Structure 1
Amino acid sequence: MSTDPSAAAPRQRPESDVSAAVGLSGLAGLLVWLLVCRNWPAISDALALPGPHERLNGANAALAALLFSGTPMVLWSLLVDKVHRRPSTGIDWDNPRPLRNVMDVSITKIAGLWATWSIIGFVYCLGRWYWRGGYLFAMDILTTIAPLMFLGAIPYVLWLDRVLVNPRDGAWHFGALLIGREPYDIEQVWHHLRAWAVKGFFCAFMIMILPGGFLAMVNMDWSQVPFHPVAIGDATIQFMFMVDVQIAMVGYLLTMKPLDAQIRTANPFLGGWVSALICYPPFILMGDGAVLDYHQNTAEWNVWLQDYTPLLWVWAVLLVVLTGIYAWATVAFGLRFSNLTYRGVLTNGPYAYTRHPAYLSKNTYWWLATMPFLATSGSLVDVVRNTVTLGLVSAVYYWRARTEEKHLLGEDAKYRAYHAWMNEHGLITSRLYRLGRLVTARHRRSAAALQPAE
C-alpha cells in the first residue's frame, strides 16, 4: 500500500476517530470538580458535613479530578459514540468464547503483562531521578496501585480474551517468549514493549506534574487578580495548562481496547524517540543551563513591554490564544492523548487547520513570551546565541512532527487521506505546503541551470 503523502487529496476531510464531544464532556467534568473543590467550604456548610470546611486543595483532590474528567469521556464514548462496537477494537461482543477455551492464552498474556510491569518497576528503581523532587509523588502513587494492577489483570484479561477476535496480542507474544512453549512473533513483542515504554515513561512524568496546576487553580483567588494584562494573562494561561495536563493524563491511563483507545502501534523510529525524549526530564535539553537553554540573559515579554500598556494587552491576548489552542489540541484527543503512539486519527478541532496545532502554538508562544532577540546584557552574542538556540528548539519539534507523520503515514490509510487533504485545504498547512513546493521548485531550477550543457 502506498504511503506517498503527495497522493491525491480527497474532496472531504476524513471523519475523525474521536468526536469533539468526548473531550468537551471531560472538560465539563473537570470544571465541575474544580468548582466543587473551590467551593467546598460553602458546600460542606450547607450540607452540615463533618470535617474541616476548607477548600479541597490536597494532592488527592487533583487525582480525583481524573475521575471527574475521565468518567464523562468514557460514558460519552460508550453510550453515544458506541466506540466499543467499532471493528478497530478487535472485539466481537456477540460471540464470546467459553472461558476454558481461552484460559491458556490468558495465562500466557498475564505472564507477559506481569513481566512487563516488573521491568518498568525495575527501571524506576534504577533511575535516581524517580526518587527525588516531584517524582516522589509519582512513585508513591504507582507503588500504591501496583498490587491492584497485578491482581486486576487476572479478571480483566480473562473477561476480554473471551471476546477478542485475536487474543494473541503483543502481551501474549511477550509471555510466549518468556515461557518458551509456543512460537512467538518478535515484531509483536517489540510493539508491546514500545507501547509500555511510552506508558511507563510518560505516566510517571504526568503524575509528577499533575497536582501543581490543579491545586494552583483551586487556591487561586480570581477576585484578587489585578486588572492588568500580565496578571490576567498569567492566571488564564495557568488554567489552560492545568486543563492540558488533566486531560492528557486520562489519555495515558485509558489505553483500553473496549474504549477503542488502545495503542495500536508505538513509534518504531529511533528519531521519533530521541526527538521526543529530549523534551522531557531527565533527558531534557531545554532546561536551565542545558544545551538548548535559550534563556541566558533574557527577560519575559512583560519586562520588555512594561512601558507600553496597549502592547501588553495585545501580547497577553496572543499568548492566551496560543495556550488555548495548545489546550484545545489536547482536549480534542479525548481519551486518546499520548506521545509516540498511533491510537486512531484525529481530524477535527484545531487539527482541521494544521496537522500539528500543539507544536505550532507552543513554539509560537515561546518566541513571543521570551523574545530571544532581546538581551538584558545588551550583548549581541547573547542575542544571536539565544535566537539560534530557540530556533534549534523549534527544529526539534519540527523533527518530532515529521517522525510522527512518518509513523502514521505507514499505519493508516485514513491518515494518508487526512495528510493529503490538509496539504490542499488546511488553513495553515496548505500554505506551508505550497511555500515548501515553491522553494523546492526554485531550488531544482537553480540546480538545473548550473548543470553543464551537453
Structure 2
Amino acid sequence: MREAANSTGRIEGLPRSDVSVGVGLVGLAGLLGWIVFCRAFPEIASALNLPVPHARLDGPYAALCGLVASGVPMVLWSVFIDKVHRNPTTGLDWGKPASAEATRAVSFTKLTGLWATWAVLAAMYAIGRWYWDGQYLFAMEVLGAVAIPALVLSIPYVFWLDRRMVNPRDATWHFGAFLLAREAWDRDRVIGHWRAWIIKGFFGAFMISILPGGFAEVVNSNLADLAHQPGALAVALIGLLFVIDVQIGTVGYVMTLRPLDSHIRSGNPFLAGWLAALLCYPPFVYGVMEAGGLLAYESNAPGWQHWLAGSPLLLSMWGGWLVFLTGVYAWATVAFGLRFSNLTYRGVITNGPYRFTRHPAYLAKNTFWWSASLPFLVTDGGPMEALRNVVGISLVSGIYYWRARTEEAHLLREDAKYREYHAWMSEHGIITAPLAALSRAITRGRRESLQPAE
C-alpha cells in the first residue's frame, strides 16, 4: 500500500525532489502568457496604434522569445523562493570570495578549455551536413548570432565564478590544462567534460531547431473551427502540449549554470545509453523509426482519426485519451524546471509524474504512439503489413526500455538519493511497483527452474 502524505504534503519515505513544483509551474505560466500575447497581438497593436504589422506573432523569433518568457520566471523562482544558489551541490561558497589574484591563472586555463570546446563544437556543426538544411538552419542562425556575445560574456562570468567556487579546477579547467600542458590534469575529468558538452551541443541544436514549427501552429490555431471538427480539438491540445515540452526542455539545455544548481554534474558513461538515445534523434532516427526506416511502424496505417472518423463520440473519447498521454509527457518535462536534458545527471526529480513511475515520459510517449498509430490496423498489405508494423513499434518501445535501464544505471551509481528513490518506487510506485513485483516473480521462477531436482 502506498505510504501516506505528511502535513507538508510530502509522501513519507519518498526522497525530497531537487526541483520544487513551483519552478515548472511559473515557467508554464510564463509560456502560456506569452502564447496568449502572441495570439492577441493584432488587437493589442490596433488598440495602441502601433506602427507595426497587425498580425499574430508566429515567427521563429517569437518562438525563441518563448524561452525568455518561461525561463525568466523559473530563474527568479529558483533564486528568490527556492534559493538554489545556496545549495551545497553548487560547489559555491558565497561567504568569502577568493581574491582575483588567487584565481586568475585558474580562470585563464578554464577559458582556454571553454573556448577550445566551443571551437570544436562549431567545427562539428560546420561538418555535419544535416545542420545546414531544413529546420536546423534556424538553430545555426541562432547559435551563430550568440557566439560572439557568449565569448565576451564568458570572460567576466568565469572570473567571477572561480572566485566563489570551492574547487575552481573543474572539468573545464582540466581540459584547458591538457591543452596548455603546464599543469597536471585528470583524464577522467576531461572525458567527463566532453560527455557533457557533446550532449549539450547535439541536443541543444536539435531543441532550438524544432521550436518554430509547433509554436506557429499553436499561435495560428483557429479556436472557432475546433468546436465543429471532431478530433480537431484533441489535435490542437496535443500540439500545445508538445510546444510546452519543447519550450521548457530547451530552457533546460540553455540554463546549465552552476549558480542555479542546474549544471551538468555528469554525462551518461555507458555506450549503450548513448546508442539508445541517439537512435531516437536526427539524423539517426531517419533510418530507424521514420517512414521508410528499419523500424517504421506506420506503413499503410492511417491512424486513429481515420478509423474512428465514423463515430464522433469514439473519436472524441480516443482524442481525450491521447491528450491525457501527451499531458503526462509534457508534465514530466515541466517537473524538471531548469534541469531537463538527455543523458545527464543534474539532480533527482521525485515529484510530479515521477511519484507514480520512474519513467513517465517514456511510458506516456510509447503508449501514445501505439494508441495514435494503431499499427495493427492497415489499409493495404494485409496481416503481414500489420505484423511488420507491430514488430517495428515493439522494437521502438524496446529501445526506450533500453534507454530507461541505462539511465537508471547512470543515476544509481551517481546519487544515494536516487538509490533511495529507485528502491521506494519499486515498493510503492503505482505503476512501477507491480512491474517490479512481476519482474521479481519471473526471476525467482527462472532461478527455481534451474535448481537441480532433489
Q: TM-score, normalised by structure 2?
A: 0.96
Shift of 1:161: 0.4
Q: Which moved more, 1:129-138 or 1:82-91?
A: 129-138
State the AA in 2 paired with 1:377.
Answer: D
Contact 1:11 1:421 in 2 (8 A): no
Rounded Cα–Cα distance in structure 1 between residues aligned with 2:332 and 2:185:
38
Partner of 1:167: 168
Q: Tell me whether 1:428 sits opposite 2:438 in the alignment.
A: no
Q: Equivalent residue for 1:321? A: 324
Which residue number in structure 1 is paired with residue 141 of structure 2? 140
C-alpha distance in 2 between matches for 1:237 and 1:406: 32
Post-superposition Cα deviations, 1:192-240, rounded to whole Å, max 9, x if no partner, equal 1000000100111011100111111111111122434411110110000
Superposed counterparts of 1:347-366, under 5 Å: 347-366=350-369
Give the equivalent residue in structure 1 for 2:267. 266
- Distance in structure 2 (CA, Å) of the matches to 1:47 and 1:102: 52
Cross-structure match for 2:127: 126
Matching residue of 1:56: 57
Worse-matched range after superposition: 385-394 or 295-304 = 295-304
Task: Quickly say closer, same or farther: Cα 1:55–1:11, change in 2 above 3 A.
Answer: closer
Aligned residue among 380, 384, 390 for 1:381 = 384
Residue matched to 1:3 = none
**Paired residue type of 1:277:** L
Matched residue, 1:190: 191
- Structure 2 residue aligned with 1:392: 395
SS in 2 for 1:396: helix
Separation in 1, partners of 2:339, 2:36: 25
For 1:219-258, list aligned pairs within 5 A.
Answer: 219-258=220-259
Q: Distance in 2 between matches of 1:413 and 1:315?
A: 41
Select which of 431, 446, 453 maps to 1:443: 446
Moved more, 44-53 or 393-402: 44-53
- Give the letter for the 1:369 counterpart: A
Corresponding residue for 2:14?
A: 13
Number of the residue aligned with 1:339: 342
One-letter amino acid matched to 1:402: R
Other structure's SS at 2:336 match: helix
Code of the residue aligned with 1:120 in structure 2: it is: L
User: How big is the shift at 1:259?
Assistant: 0.3
* Range with bigger deviation, 246-255 or 34-43: 34-43
1:43 counterpart residue number: 44
CA distance in 2, matches of 1:18, 1:384: 43
Indicate conservation of the 8 Å contact 1:240/1:324, yes or no.
yes
Identity rate of aligned residues, in percent? 56
Question: C-alpha separation between the residues in 2 aligned to 1:34 and 1:316?
Answer: 23
**8 Å CA contact retained: 1:74, 1:259:** yes
Q: Judge conservation of contact 2:303–2:375 (CA < 8 Å) in 1.
A: no
Question: Which one is further off, 222-231 or 328-337?
Answer: 222-231
Q: Secondary structure at the match of 2:335?
A: helix
Asked if the contact 2:19/2:337 (under 8 Å) is kept, the reply is yes
> For the residues of structure 2 that align with 1:51 and 1:309, how far apart are their CA atoms?
42
1:345 corresponds to which letter in structure 2?
A: V
Runs of 4+ in 1 over 6 A off after TM superposition: none
Asked whether 1:288 is paired with 2:316, we answer: no
Hey, what's the Cα distance between the residues in 1 that align with 2:333 and 2:82? 19
Which of 1 and 2 has higher RCO (CA within 8 Å, sep 6+)? Answer: 1
Deviation by residue 1:7-62 (Cα, 9 ceiling, x = unmatched):
xxx95100000001100000000011111111111212222322222211211111
Q: In the alignment, is the contact (CA less than 8 A) between 1:256 and 1:262 conserved in 2?
A: yes
One-letter identity of the residue aligned with 1:349: G
- Aligned residue pairs, count: 442
Deviates more, 1:417-426 or 1:33-42: 33-42
State the match for 1:406 in structure 2.
Answer: 409
* Residues 145-194 of structure 1 deviation map (CA, whole Å, 9 limit, x = unaligned): 11111111101000000000000001000000000000001111011100
For residue 414 of structure 2, give the secondary structure of its aligned residue in structure 1.
Answer: coil
Measured on the aligned residues, the alpha-carbon RMSD in Å equals 1.2
| 1:242 shift after superposition | 0.5
Letter of the 2:283 partner, please give it.
P
1:206 and 2:199 are equivalent in the alignment: no
Deviation at 1:378, TM superposition (A): 4.8
1:184 maps to a residue whose letter is W
In 2, distance between residues paired with 1:312 and 1:41?
34
AA paired with 1:180? A
Question: What is the aligned partner in structure 2 of residue 72 from structure 1?
Answer: 73
Alpha-carbon distance in structure 2 between the residues aligned to 1:204 and 1:11: 40
Contact 1:18–1:333 at 8 Å: present in 2 too? yes
Q: How far apart are the structure 2 equivalents of 1:421 and 1:350?
A: 15
Q: Counterpart of 1:245 in 2: which secondary structure?
A: helix
Amino acid at match of 1:310: L
- When structure 1 is superposed on structure 2, of 58-67 and 218-227 the one drifting more is 218-227
Q: Give the corresponding residue for 2:30.
A: 29
Seen in structure 2, the aligned counterparts of structure 1 residues 445 and 452 have a Cα distance that, compared at 3 Å, is closer
